[in-house]
Amino acid sequence: MSPDIPEVPKTVSEAMPTQAIPQATQRPPRGPGKVVETLPTSLRGLYPAIEPFESGMLDVGGGHRIYWERCGNPNGKPAVFLHGGPGGGCSPEHRRLFDPAKYCVTLFDQRGCGRSLPHASLDDNTTWDLVDDIEALRRKFGYERWLVFGGSWGSTLALAYAQAHVDRVSELVVRGIFTVRREELYWYYQKGASWLFPDRWEKFLAPIPLEERGDLMRAYRKRLTHPDEAVRVEAARAWSMWEGGTITLLPDDPLAEAFGDPHYAIAFARIENHYFVHDGFLKPNQLIGGAHVLRDVPGVIVQGRYDMATPAKTAWDLHKAWPEADFYWAPDAGHAFSEPTILHWLIEATDRFAAN
């Protein structure tokens, strides 16, 4: 590594602080959830497009100001949506995962991405900073508890938040399960997925010299924090378009190209890489190992069977650790929330919990 790039640990169990996992509070006991792998006879879709009824910026310290918005019914059931990445930001489509007549949904761009400032900042940007930001928003709006919804990295953050603040979670909906374990990262950024996408993998490798390819995340870190903007942008686009080109079961070239937008890619790639070289600022297996505190939280897990970005093994591990949640396989889908069967089960989940 170049001398201006600090060395990072392979794991962070001793190097990074983590919050203590509380014991679950007393709720009505829940039996085992159901496991479903069938294609629905008719598919649910997104609710109509809506605009926020309120938005703003929240100063969360460390120089960060996060963008937030609230959508739907101001007097509806509270929910918070946690986007992917990290570094992905929210989109208008995310508002449409909830019945606007029944929910009051808070969406926010996590530190350093989307409309939050400063853009692409890595300072004071860890999983536990984001957990604190979620709590700051809950307190700001005066909610006792709320439904927590997260996909991909959003599932990581949802699990971390729920395990740290189980009393504040009314229900938990997660999809495309990702827990930042070393084997998950190695699969997607070093070896496994390359066997299925060799053409796209060559483009991912292109910015990295042969002699640095033994640890691609660290090689990318050096470039994503490089003083030369051209070097940063080249690396960011390659990193981001690898993900954009591999998250759907069927090719979606416009989606992959959208991931290559330089402004988006810089935040997305820098923040993802920052989190991943630090193992998500989590102890090994922390989120699967801590899932027992969720046993009394009503929950839904949705997983694409052919998800290459966050392979199904992690979702199955979570199911075994949290068997009380309902588990829905999407047997014809990859990773993206917009794939029809994944989207169907997500809408079914938010509709079901709207009445609680």
Give every CB contact of residue 313 below 8 A, 6+ residues apart in sequence: none
Q: How far is the C-alpha of 277 from the C-alpha of 274, rounded, in Å?
A: 6
At 70 the pLDDT is 98
Of residues 330 and 18, more confidently modeled? 330
240 assigned to active site: no
Mean model confidence pLDDT for the chain:
93
What is the residue whose two structure tokens read 């918070």? Answer: 80
What b/e string do you get for 217-231 counting C-beta neighbours within 10 Å, with b at 16 or more?
bebbbbbbbbeeeee
Which of the following is catalytic: 83, 274, 278, 335?
A: 335
| Per-residue confidence band for 101, with pLDDT thresholds at 50, 70 and 90 | very high
Angle in degrees, CA 301, 304, 309, rounded to 5: 105
At 49 the pLDDT is 98
- Residue 1 clears pLDDT 50, i.e. is over it: no
Which of the following is catalytic: 307, 317, 319, 326?
A: 307
Q: How far is the C-alpha of 339 from the C-alpha of 21, rounded, in Å?
A: 34
Range with lowest mean pLDDT among 3-7, 235-239, 280-284? 3-7
3-state SS, residue 228: coil
At 356 the pLDDT is 83
| Per-residue confidence band for 330, with pLDDT thresholds at 50, 70 and 90 | very high
225: which strand partners?
A: none
- Residue 158 clears pLDDT 80, i.e. is over it: yes
At 256 the pLDDT is 86
At 31 the pLDDT is 82
**Phi then psi for 228, rounded to 5 degrees?**
-85, 120
Q: How far is the C-alpha of 344 from the C-alpha of 44, rounded, in Å?
A: 5
Please write down the long-range contacts of 185-188, taking CB distance under 8 Å and 24 or more positions apart. Answer: 185/217, 185/276, 185/279, 187/311, 188/308, 188/309, 188/310
- Residue 9 clears pLDDT 60, i.e. is over it: no
- Residue 301 clears pLDDT 90, i.e. is over it: yes
Tokens of 255: 């989606």
Q: How far is the C-alpha of 331 from the C-alpha of 39, rounded, in Å?
A: 7
174: which strand partners?
A: 150, 301
| Per-residue confidence band for 25, with pLDDT thresholds at 50, 70 and 90 | very low
The answer to whether domain 35-180+282-354 has CATH 3.10.290.10 is no
- Residue 224 clears pLDDT 60, i.e. is over it: yes
Structural domain boundaries in the chain: 35-180+282-354, 183-280
At 355 the pLDDT is 86
152 assigned to active site: yes
Give every CB contact of residue 195 below 8 A, 6+ residues apart in sequence: none
| Per-residue confidence band for 17, with pLDDT thresholds at 50, 70 and 90 | very low
Nearest of 87, 95, 222, 104 to residue 156 by alpha carbon: 87
Identify residue 176 by its one-letter amino acid code.
Answer: G
Across residues 68-89, what is the average pLDDT?
98
At 123 the pLDDT is 98
Across residues 65-84, what is the average pLDDT?
98
165 assigned to active site: no
Which of the following is catalytic: 152, 155, 194, 240?
A: 152
Reported as type and span, the H/E element at residue 224 is helix 216-224
At 27 the pLDDT is 57
- Residue 15 clears pLDDT 70, i.e. is over it: no
At 167 the pLDDT is 98
Across residues 97-107, what is the average pLDDT?
98
At 181 the pLDDT is 98
149: which strand partners?
A: 81, 173
